[in-house]
Amino acid sequence: MSVVTIARQGEIAIVTVDNPPVNALSQALRQGLWDAVGTLDADPQVRAVVLICAGRTFIAGADVTEFGKPPQEPHLPDLVDRIEGAAKPWVAAIHGSALGGGFEVAMGCRFRVGLDSASVGLPEVSLGIVPGASGTVRTPRLAGVETAVDLVTSGKPVKATKALTMGLIDAVFAGDLQANAVAFARDALTRDLPPPASARPITPPDAGFWDDHRKAVAKAAKGAEAPLRALDCLRKAAEAPFAEAMAFERQTFLDLRGSDQAAALRHVFFAERAAPRPAHLKDVDPLPLRSAGVIGGGTMGAGIAAALRDAGIPVTLIERDDQALERGISNLRAIFDGAAKRGKLTEAQAADRMAGVSATTDYAALSDADLVIEAVFEDIAVKCAVFAQLATACRADAMLATNTSYLNPRLIADDLPNPHRFIGLHFFSPANVMRLLEIVPVPETSDRTLATGFALARMLGKIPVQSGICEGFIGNRILKRYRASAEALVRQGIAIAEIDAAMRAYGFAMGPFEAQDLGGLDIAFLQREGARAAGQDVPETLGDILVRAGRKGQKTGGGWYDYAFGDRRPQPSSAVADLLAGAITGATSMEGDAIARHLVGEMAAEGQAILDEGIAARASDIDLVEIHGYGFPRWRGGPMWAVNR
C-alpha cells in the first residue's frame, strides 16, 4: 500500500500519510508528498489541501534509521519549499506529535491546525543535530525570535494550546480532526491568504540578546554542541536573507550529523526505545494497575507516592506510627507544593494530587490494592516484617515490590506466599523526578509480574532497565567502583578538587566527591559498617576516615570539602588534608582529561563484568542506567558506548 493517499471532499483534497509506526519521513514518504503536490496542483477541482496522518501521530520527523546513509532525493528542505509554493494552500492537521521534520513540513503548509491533545516541537538538538529543513529559519518567522530560541535550543515540544498562543498553530480543536480541518480550509478560502512562513518579516534582536542567550544555552547544554550551533542558525535566520539562512542551517545540519555527539545521542535514542520492550514479554499482558500502596513515607516512599499520583494512580500511604505518618504526609505535600511554586503544577492540580492519597497505619487499607511498593528502612528484618503483614493484608494476586538498594530481594521472596508476584523496583532519588527504574526479578517472579513492572515504568514515564541480583544491582555497583577508583586517585596524590573538576568538564553536573557531600557520606559508611559487623572483610575507605571524624557532608558543615554556613560551594579543606595525610602515598599528577577517561574506563570495566555475569542484558542498558540514574552526560552515550566505540 502506498504511504500517501489522496481523497477528495468537493473542492478540498485530503492527503493521508500512513507510514507506521510514527509516519517518519522515509524516502518513500517524501516522494509520495512530492508527487501529491504535483497531482493536486494540476487538479482544477481542488482549491485547498488537508494533510493528515493515520495511526498514533502526525509525522514524527526524519527517519532516524536513515541518518547513517547518504541522503536521497527528494531532500526534505526542497519538499517543504514545494509544499509552501504549491498553487493551492495546504493545511496541516496535527494529532499526536509533529516533531522535527514533521513540524517543518507543517510549517511549509499555509496553515496548521491540531487537536488540543497534540504537541509540536523541534527535538533535533536532543539527537545532536539542528533542524535540517528550515526549523531554525521558519520558526522565528512564525513565532518570533525569542520563542524560536527557546523551542529549538531546548528541543522540548509544546502542547498545541500553547503553540496556538505562540503563533505556531492557527486553530485547535477538541474532536474530529479531519472534519474540523476541512471546515477550516473551506473557511480559509473565503478570505485573503496570509503570507507563507518564509515571506513573513522577522525582527532581529540586538547583539545583547544573543550574548545573554549564548551564556544561558551553554550553561544548560553542559558540553553538548548542538544547542549552541542551533543558536548560531537562529541568529543567521534573524540577520540574513531567507536563502542564506537556509544554506547555513543545511551546512550546520550536515556537519553535525556525522559528529561523535550525534552518534552517541542516536545510540541513546534507540537504547531508550529498546529498553521498555523485552522481547520475551511481547505476548504477556501486564496486570491492571488501578491503585497502589506505598509503605514508608520517607525520602523514597514520598517520592514514589508522588510519581504514582503524577500518573493518576490513587495511593494508600502506610507508616509505622502516627507521628511518622504525619511526617510522610508532609513530605508528600512538600513535593507537590514545591512543584506548584515552580509552576510545574497549578494549585488545583497539587490539591488533586494530595486528594488522591489516603494515609494510615492500618494495613487493612491495602486489601484491594493492585500493587504495593515497600520503601522502609534498609534493614532486612524490618522489611521481612512488613512483607509478612502484606501477605495477609493484600489480595493473593496483588503485586508486591521492594525498593531496596543493596539487600538481596530473594531473602524477602523466601518468606512470601505466592512469590511469583514479588519483584524489586529500584527507584532513584528524587523518585518522582529521576527517570531510571531498575527492575529486579527474583527467580520466582512470573513473566506477568515482570511485564507489569515494565508497564508501570511506562505509566510513570520512566526508563526501565532489568537487572539481575548482585550487591547494588547495576547502578550502585558501578557507583561503588567509580567512588573507589576516585579514592584510589586521591591516594596516589591527585587533589580531590581536581578529580571533581575533571568529571564536571567531562559533562557531569558534579564530581564524585561533591556529590557525596550533597547526599551524605554516612549512608555508604553505615552499609560498610554493617558488612563489617557481619564478618565481611571491607577495607577502610577514605570516606570512613572522614565520617569517623564527624565529616558526613554538607549537612555537618563538611565532608570532602568545607562549607561556609549557608553556602553550598565546596572549599578545599585543610582538615581533610590532615585527616587523609597518612593514607596518601603518591605524588602523581594527571591531566583532567586523563582523569575522566580513567574513571569512565573503570565504570565501563565494572559494566563489562556486570554483562559477563548476565546481570544486565546488554551494554546499552548499562548506558541508560548511568545516564538516567547518575547524571552521566547523555551526549557521551554512556560509559559502555564512550569506551567501546
Indicate which residues carry an active-site annotation: 104, 124
Please identify, using beta-carbon distances, which residue of 35 and 378 lies nearer to ligand NAD. 378
Site for ligand NAD in 326-365 (CB under 6 A): 328
> Least distance from C-beta 479 to ligand NAD, angstroms?
11
- Alpha carbon 140 to chain centroid distance? 26
Site map 244..283 versus ligand NAD, x via CB under 6 A: ----------------------------------------
The answer to whether residue 377 forms part of the interface with ligand NAD (CB under 6 A) is yes
Among 186, 214, 222, 320, binds ligand NAD (CB under 6 A): 320
DSSP sequence for 418-474 = SGGGEEEEEE-SSTTT--EEEEEE-TT--HHHHHHHHHHHHHTT-EEEE--SSTTHH
The answer to whether residue 375 forms part of the interface with ligand NAD (CB under 6 A) is yes
Please identify, using beta-carbon distances, which residue of 179 and 382 lies nearer to ligand NAD. 382
Please identify, using beta-carbon distances, which residue of 212 and 322 lies nearer to ligand NAD. 322
Report the alpha-carbon angle 344-346-348, nearest 5. Answer: 145
Quote the CA–CA distance of 429 and 476 in Å, as a whole number.
12
298 binds, among ligand T1G, ligand NAD, none (CB under 5 to 8 A by kind): ligand NAD
The answer to whether residue 319 forms part of the interface with ligand NAD (CB under 6 A) is yes
Site for ligand T1G in 129-188 (CB under 6 A): 129, 131-133, 135
Asked if the bond preceding 74 is cis, omega within 30° of 0, the reply is: yes
Of 293, 330, 335, the residue nearest 432 (C-alpha): 335
101 binds, among ligand NAD, ligand T1G, none (CB under 5 to 8 A by kind): ligand T1G
Residues facing 422 on adjacent strands: 400
The answer to whether residue 36 forms part of the interface with ligand T1G (CB under 6 A) is no
441 binds, among ligand T1G, ligand NAD, none (CB under 5 to 8 A by kind): none
Q: Are 437 and 460 a contacting pair, CB within 8 Å? A: yes
Residue 291, helix vs strand vs coil: coil
Quote the CA–CA distance of 645 and 638 in Å, as a whole number.
11
Residues facing 50 on adjacent strands: 14, 91
Site for ligand NAD in 493-522 (CB under 6 A): none
598, three cell numbers: 580513567
CB atoms within 10 A of CB 321: 9
299 binds, among ligand T1G, ligand NAD, none (CB under 5 to 8 A by kind): ligand NAD
Site for ligand T1G in 251-310 (CB under 6 A): 273
Quote the CA–CA distance of 438 and 458 in Å, as a whole number.
13
Please identify, using beta-carbon distances, which residue of 472 and 638 lies nearer to ligand T1G. 638
45 binds, among ligand T1G, ligand NAD, none (CB under 5 to 8 A by kind): none
Among 295, 305, 400, 423, binds ligand NAD (CB under 6 A): 295
Among 142, 164, 256, 300, binds ligand NAD (CB under 6 A): 300
Residue 349, helix vs strand vs coil: helix
User: What secondary structure letter does DSSP report for 541?
Assistant: P
User: What region does 134 belong to: left with phi over 0, alpha with psi -120 to 50, or beta?
Assistant: left
> Least distance from C-beta 36 to ligand T1G, angstroms?
19
Residue 492, helix vs strand vs coil: coil
> Least distance from C-beta 376 to ligand NAD, angstroms?
4
Please identify, using beta-carbon distances, which residue of 52 and 339 lies nearer to ligand T1G. 52
Say if residue 211 is exposed, middle or buried (CB neighbours under 10 Å; 0-12, 13-18, 19+): exposed
> Least distance from C-beta 522 to ligand NAD, angstroms?
12
447, three cell numbers: 513473566
Quote the CA–CA distance of 266 and 272 in Å, as a whole number.
10
Site map 404..423 versus ligand NAD, x via CB under 6 A: xx------------------
Among 12, 169, 318, 425, binds ligand NAD (CB under 6 A): 318
> Least distance from C-beta 20 to ligand T1G, angstroms?
8
User: What secondary structure letter does DSSP report for 195?
Assistant: P
Please identify, using beta-carbon distances, which residue of 54 and 510 lies nearer to ligand NAD. 510
The answer to whether residue 629 forms part of the interface with ligand NAD (CB under 6 A) is no
Which residue has cell 494515609? 359
Site map 48..67 versus ligand T1G, x via CB under 6 A: --------xx--xxxxxx--
Quote the CA–CA distance of 16 and 2 in Å, as a whole number.
10
The answer to whether residue 121 forms part of the interface with ligand T1G (CB under 6 A) is no
Applying CB under 6 A, the span of 94-102, 173-181, 500-508, 621-629 interacting with ligand T1G comes to 94-102
> Least distance from C-beta 75 to ligand T1G, angstroms?
9
> Can you list the positions of beta strands (E) in 442-577?
463-466
**DSSP H/E element including 486:** helix 473-491
Quote the CA–CA distance of 491 and 207 in Å, as a whole number.
49
Quote the CA–CA distance of 103 and 92 in Å, as a whole number.
9
185 binds, among ligand NAD, ligand T1G, none (CB under 5 to 8 A by kind): none
Quote the CA–CA distance of 103 and 138 in Å, as a whole number.
10
Among 403, 516, 573, 620, binds ligand NAD (CB under 6 A): 403
Site for ligand NAD in 201-230 (CB under 6 A): none
- Alpha carbon 332 to chain centroid distance? 23
Please identify, using beta-carbon distances, which residue of 284 and 385 lies nearer to ligand NAD. 385
Report the alpha-carbon angle 197-202-206, nearest 5. Answer: 155
> Least distance from C-beta 361 to ligand NAD, angstroms?
8
The answer to whether residue 128 forms part of the interface with ligand T1G (CB under 6 A) is no
CB atoms within 10 A of CB 584: 14
Which residue has cell 511469583? 420
Where along the sequence are the contacts to ligand T1G (CB under 6 A)? 21-22, 24, 56-57, 60-65, 76, 97, 99-101, 104, 123-124, 127, 129, 131-133, 135, 273
Binding site for ligand NAD (CB under 6 A): 295-301, 318-320, 324, 328, 375-378, 382, 386, 403-405, 427-429
